[in-house]
Structure 1
């Protein structure tokens, strides 16, 4: 007797932080023409600036463009200098200054509103690095306090918040996600952005096992190649990850959100990277699907 395993289709997207040299309309047209299902939209000055006037009107225009191109979206908040022109990713929810922390919370609240208006399937965020002189316990308390209003807003809007474990940040791994989730009482709007490269970089489990262990809370996936212990986002084939088992795991757990290619340092070659990435992933998924449909003998009793 043989048994086949159920699978779910994967929907690929490409992050606009890897298309920073393109106008947003051009980027969306490119991704649609290549065959992507969606886009990871980073709120930043060159695309959809969250600090410029008339955000609601500009968001409505983006919504029309997404509909025209048949793309779904996740909203990303990892712009390097959108809040502070001189310090990368500052301020964060861990900043010692309460007003600085409030600026990050306000950005995330705007992101939730944008996501609701765009019909996005998730809003991405991160903790930030622990500031010098701040104890880990104080950092975790600030993170919980800062993200609380965001989760309230997200719950009302029906948009999950997907916090990303980021190497070098206070919340850098899945264990950190579970620490925050438990401290907050497992709120329904809180999920995780699982970056497959980050799993390769520092998680104790292989990336495919990370997918399975995070499945219950998985709200967004980012994907690129990476090497163990080196936090550098690499084009596919230049790192160490075996991708068919990872994609097989995503299909196995029934993940239906976007799988977003994350190559923020490759905007200089964005259109070529986007084309090559989709070719790579669809080939790897076909390999995974073929393996999944191969007959398997039942284990002996």
Structure 2
């Protein structure tokens, strides 16, 4: 297993203002410094990273700056995260144009994977055909990623159409996209992460690990919540997956580097125990 850490904790999740009026510009963005995040991630002992599509826009005109950061820190850009509503027919082509740009940037900067989130929640609940529309969008994302030399994976997420394990079952039957389990989002939606990883073992192509505290409804560094990562890692091993594990934390009250270090120490100890 190789360990990576996304830059999201350095500034949290924001978005690009242009996306409010132009769907083609609705990129995700982390508000913090990419350079600081890379240096902290490398110092904590990780060897890979994941960034939002919007953060790559900073480097489009000077790609060598991004390459130099990777070389300086010794990090591998493993994956790029993007997403869309997918269920609104009038804007889906604009969303796909954005995802095509995200895939092109990801490929330019050497990423291997495109992580897809989304599937909008309507104000009054899902409409007939929403899951089919989402599935169609995800299959288009798979084609876009493949054309760019990337693997597309779907990331179920709280606050989207696919929160629960029941919703995940629907979308996995309708779409052929690969699976990116996020342990905390799966648990927050009432699912058992280890069980769901086993259920979709043949679709597993990327992994997000973070802990979950159901009492506070908060994401936590590994080992500080309630999830059984021994069982989760065992389930991952059973699938035959032996690749990047992204240790993610959307938000942390303290220093993001400290959170990364807490999770790294916990995971190193757990992995050593499992292989001893």
User: Is TM (by shorter chain) over 0.5?
Assistant: yes
Is residue 2:189 matched to residue 1:202?
yes
CA contact (8 A) 1:165 1:174 kept: no
C-alpha separation between the residues in 2 aligned to 1:242 and 1:18? 22
Quickly say closer, same or farther: Cα 1:229–1:155, change in 2 above 3 A: farther
Match of 1:147 among 118, 127, 138: 138
Aligned to 1:3: none
**3-state SS of the aligned residue for 1:170?**
coil
- Structure 2 residues not aligned, in runs of 5+: 12-30
Quickly say closer, same or farther: Cα 1:60–1:162, change in 2 above 3 A: farther
Is residue 2:69 matched to residue 1:77?
no
CA contact (8 A) 2:178 2:203 kept: yes
C-alpha separation between the residues in 1 aligned to 2:46 and 2:260? 9
Quickly say closer, same or farther: Cα 1:111–1:175, change in 2 above 3 A: farther
Quickly say closer, same or farther: Cα 1:276–1:229, change in 2 above 3 A: closer
Quickly say closer, same or farther: Cα 1:58–1:258, change in 2 above 3 A: farther
**3-state SS of the aligned residue for 1:126?**
strand
Quickly say closer, same or farther: Cα 1:257–1:203, change in 2 above 3 A: farther
**1:30-76 Cα distance to aligned partner (Å, 9 max, x none):** 222222021121233xx433xx6x73x34453234224433222111
Match of 2:33 among 2, 6, 23: 23
Is residue 2:99 matched to residue 1:94?
no
Per the TM alignment, residue 112 of structure 1 is displaced from its structure 2 partner at its CA by 1.2
**3-state SS of the aligned residue for 2:5?**
strand
CA contact (8 A) 1:63 1:117 kept: no
Superposition RMSD in Å: 2.7
Aligned to 1:5: none
Match of 1:63 among 47, 60, 67: 67
C-alpha separation between the residues in 1 aligned to 2:124 and 2:48? 41
CA contact (8 A) 1:28 1:69 kept: yes
C-alpha separation between the residues in 2 aligned to 1:223 and 1:210? 14
**3-state SS of the aligned residue for 2:122?**
coil
CA contact (8 A) 2:112 2:150 kept: yes
Match of 2:47 among 37, 47, 52: 37
Match of 1:156 among 147, 164, 185: 147
Per the TM alignment, residue 177 of structure 1 is displaced from its structure 2 partner at its CA by 4.2
Per the TM alignment, residue 214 of structure 1 is displaced from its structure 2 partner at its CA by 2.2
**3-state SS of the aligned residue for 2:3?**
strand
So what's the TM-score if we normalise by structure 2?
Answer: 0.80
Quickly say closer, same or farther: Cα 1:35–1:263, change in 2 above 3 A: same
C-alpha separation between the residues in 2 aligned to 1:148 and 1:200? 25
Quickly say closer, same or farther: Cα 1:113–1:177, change in 2 above 3 A: farther
Match of 1:281 among 251, 267, 274: 267
Equivalenced residue count is 256
CA contact (8 A) 2:47 2:75 kept: yes
Per the TM alignment, residue 164 of structure 1 is displaced from its structure 2 partner at its CA by 1.0
